[in-house]
């Protein structure tokens, strides 16, 4: 991954929205940066589950039958971001052997091909996964500018926050992983 002009790649890092960030798409979000280079950045919001849409609904819509031995639970589908919200992406532990997987770090992959959902339905898929619709995207230098404006804190991604921490506390946990108290954050703080 190439570095941008002022920043090293933030792939495999969390972007944690500062309290002052009032954009309804990103207010109090934690976004996993999946790719970041001179062409921009893409990420998946990990703490915005959809109220009504579940993984079983997506499998049914795609006519993928779930085996009885499958470990697929009836997890919520997440709003991955405001870009291409019809695109399904599976964020998962490990990198697997699916048709279209972007390796994010040593322990995370992002797969956009149907075969990952089919393997999840048969019990052969990743043991920990999050299905999102859409993603967050930034043009060249846009993310760096937003970080300079103190809209985001950055910290190395922790798969436990993605897959083990309750969704309603992921923002707080990501901030606390930096040694910070969320109640003491101000719009004047810099990035970690």
Quickly list DSSP for 77-98: EEE--SEEEEEEEEEEES--S-
**pLDDT by residue, tens only, the chain of 192 residues:** 444 455 689 999 999 999 888 899 999 999 999 999 999 999 999 999 998 888 888 888 888 887 766 656 678 899 999 999 999 999 999 877 888 999 998 889 999 988 999 988 888 888 899 999 999 999 999 999 999 999 999 999 999 999 999 999 999 999 999 998 888 876 544 544
If we measure between CA atoms, which residue out of 152, 161, 124 comes closest to residue 7? Answer: 152
Verdict on whether the full-model pTM lies above 0.85: yes
Question: Which residues, at least 6 apart from 153, have a Cβ–Cβ distance to it below 8 Å?
Answer: 15, 16, 18, 175, 178, 180, 189, 191, 192
* DSSP structural state of residue 43: E
Neighbours of 164 (CB within 10 A): 11
d(CA 24, CA 21): 9
Domain 13-61+77-91+131-184 fold is VC0467-like (3.40.1740)
d(CA 77, CA 89): 10
Helix or strand holding residue 46 (H, E)? none
Q: Where are the domains of the chain?
A: 13-61+77-91+131-184
Question: Which residues, at least 6 apart from 182, have a Cβ–Cβ distance to it below 8 Å?
Answer: 19, 171, 172, 175, 176
CA 183, chain centre distance (Å): 24
């Amino acid at each position: 991954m190439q570095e941008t002009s002022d920043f090293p790649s933030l792939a495999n890092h969390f972007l944690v929205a500062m309290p002052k960030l009032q954009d309804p798409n990103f207010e109090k979000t934690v976004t996993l940066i999946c790719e970041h280079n001179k062409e921009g950045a893409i990420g998946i919001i990990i703490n915005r589950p959809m109220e009504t849409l579940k993984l079983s609904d997506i499998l049914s819509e795609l006519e993928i039958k779930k085996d009885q031995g499958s470990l697929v639970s009836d997890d919520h589908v997440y709003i991955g971001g405001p870009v291409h919200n019809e695109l399904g992406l599976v964020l998962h532990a490990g990198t697997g052997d699916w048709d279209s997987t972007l390796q994010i770090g040593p322990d995370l992959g992002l797969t956009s091909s149907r075969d990952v959902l089919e393997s999840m339905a048969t019990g052969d898929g990743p043991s920990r996964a999050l299905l999102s619709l859409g993603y967050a995207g930034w043009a060249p230098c846009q993310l760096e500018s937003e970080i300079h404006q103190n809209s985001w804190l950055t910290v190395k991604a922790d798969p436990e926050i993605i897959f083990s921490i309750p969704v309603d506390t992921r923002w707080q946990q990501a901030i606390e992983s930096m040694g910070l108290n969320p109640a003491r954050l101000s719009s004047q703080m810099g990035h970690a």
